Chain A
Amino acid sequence: SAVISQKPSRDICQRGTSLTIQCQVDSQVTMMFWYRQQPGQSLTLIATANQGSEATYESGFVIDKFPISRPNLTFSTLTVSNMSPEDSSIYLCSVSGTSGTATYNEQFFGPGTRLTVL
């Protein structure tokens, strides 16, 4: 398994500003992902964070709006840029391919970051 922490746990931001969310894992992992979950809704995948290269974005999400970094096998950041109230959501980090296992069958999720944009 993997223990994932996210910072901040929540924030209230003004429109037009940017927020960087950090995701830290307690062990090396192969894959890291960022999801968004709007209130009362299901999860939507934003992108796959690739170590040493540009993230792979899903349809509807672009790098200029959601730049992602992944400098090593235990850490990633997601930035929500030029925020608007529509960006108010919970942002979750997840990982798979944990150290010591050869399986990618299970994903572990962080607790999420609750973002409110005024």
Chain B
Amino acid sequence: LAKTTQPISMDSYEGQEVNITCSHNNIATNDYITWYQQFPSQGPRFIIQGYKTKVTNEVASLFIPADRKSSTLSLPRVSLSDTAVYYCLVGPLGQGNLIFGKGTKLSVKP
């Protein structure tokens, strides 16, 4: 499974757009990019998944350039409740044994 690199932490203010970039230089052809969110004292929660270009859902957008060596999770207009750790994972679909990196701790301030 491809290794991922993310910033350890990020700070933001309410109402701002937050972009978290993940590097995955060794991504394989059949690998997908998946992001999870984890609040304190809870298990991780699936946010979004994509293979290339752009994916958008009601929570976030995921931007993946043509070379797929990186990806950016975009959270529009964050609120205090978006304070959490965000994990970027790379692997083939159906790969059950997820390999979590260190994640990015996002702190949203009023």
Contacts and interface: CB of A to CB of B under 8 A. Distances in A.
Interface in A28-73: 31, 33, 42-45, 48, 58
Top 5 A-B pairs, shortest CB-CB distance: A109-B43, A104-B94, A43-B100, A106-B46, A31-B96
A44 B100 contact: yes
Interface of A: 4, 31, 33, 42-45, 48, 58, 92, 94, 96-97, 103-112
Contacts of B49: 105-106
Given A106-B34, A107-B96, A109-B42, 16 more contacts: A31-B96, A33-B97, A42-B101, A43-B100, A44-B100, A45-B97, A45-B99, A48-B96, A104-B93, A105-B93, A106-B46, A107-B44, A107-B98, A110-B43, A111-B41, A112-B43
Given A106-B46, A109-B45, A48 B32 contact: no
A42 B6 CA distance: 13
Contacts of A104: 93-96
Interface residues of B, number: 21
B96 A43 contact: no
Contacts of A43: 44, 98, 100
B87 interface: yes
A78 B98 CA distance: 18
A76 to B, nearest CB: 13
Nearest to B45: A109
Contacts of B41: 111-112
B102 interface: yes
A101 B25 CA distance: 31
